[in-house]
A and B are shown apart, each in its own frame.
Chain A
Amino acid sequence: MSGFKLKKRKQVSTGFDINVTPMLDLFSVLIIFLLATSVFSAVGETRIEVPFLSSQPPPKQEEIEKKPEKTVNITIDEKTVKYQQATTANSVPADEFEVPLTETGLDKIQEKIYAIRKENPAFDKVTVFTQAEVDYEKMILVLDTVRLLRAGRTPIPYPSDYKMPMGVEPTDLVTKVVLGNVIFAD
């Protein structure tokens, strides 16, 4: 190997040198200011609705029977979650099961709702019933399952004529989560 001799570069003085120290001071102050004042929004929101009495007349029975729609009710207990799927024409559940309040159990529930959305992309409402002693934290966990798609599931787009409610992501599994047992409290 031919031996290369690294020549030491001669530093050429141009006679021009910027003093960067004041700039560095300024940057430090700016960084401290930005860190102290900026708001990193760590607080998020999940939207829910409560049932209310409407002045609109209820749909006619014949119309309901002609085109029955699927309804999904979720009941949260302290350790379990119950899934019930019925139709607007028949309130007797066509599909019903109970799972433990764990990630695996909740995933099974999401799988069911996902299948309904796949079948009918306009399906948008799930009603959640929570038992009195259930912690708020557990309720949020279930609400997350109902609303937010888990990894590995591709979002199902809503029909083009669907009116998207405010404050929801178009990728949400369902857009309306209603808390069922609010009034007529025990």
Chain B
Amino acid sequence: MNATAPHAGEDKCLLRPGNTNCGGCGMSVGLTMLGRALEKADDSCSMVIPACCGIVTAGAYPTTSYGVPTLAATFASSPAFASGYASVRDLNDEPGQVVCWAGDGGTYDIGLATLSAAAERNENIIYICYDNEIYGNTGGQRSSATPAGARTSTTPFGKTENKKDIMSIMAAHRIPYAATLSMAHPEDFARKMATALATEGTRFLLIDSPCPTGWKSEPEDSIELVRIAVKSGLFPVFEVFDGVRYRINIEPDGSDPAEYFNRQRRFDDDEIDLDGIRHFCAKRMKRLEALANLNSA
């Protein structure tokens, strides 16, 4: 979209080698995928990052692990900082995307009002939430993205409430593009990043982002876990255009979600209501299918 945009940083590397992120970190994969999508589109970006693992990733001043201009925002404020920053970019006809890169705490919880307001104004920014379903940076507390049953340091007996449906919230803002991304499906992931880069206005991408530290899973299982989440319908992979046109990108294959819970020690298998979860996932897929069918009707 910006054919003449220079790639920031001589190394053309959005997430530089030598960062201190955990093994098996989904956020790191997401950042790398974003860098590749930008390179492929001959585009560039500035990042606005609130409090989350993403800003710790930068490392200590004056060095940085980011090969692009990066601005730290207060926890609730990345869409507001980005709105001002992108406004001045546009006033000066400068190239490059403005990308908010935020965790689920900054998105579902403390930053939701700010995000909602930026979406309502249709700010010309890309908002990417790497959702690891936990406050990872502070050592693993529950957020409203944490699924029911998960043990966190603030829900030591398992969370009793269900995960918030952020996609419905964002779709309700009728923004041009909203999509869920799974790193178990890199082609779909890359295509959606490219779609987001080629779209104007507020774009929202939700990445299912494994966190071995918080999920108490093995780092080498990360991709497999998010693959099972897609297959079993735990993480529906879909996109929404203008808040109304739904498209399901990967159909679940009916796989049993049991293994997803077995392989993460944040869940106590005896307390997980698998039948209830299967029923919920099936109902949710039906609803998404019905919404998707409205397009062709």
A binds B: no
B contact set with A: CB distance below 8 Å = none
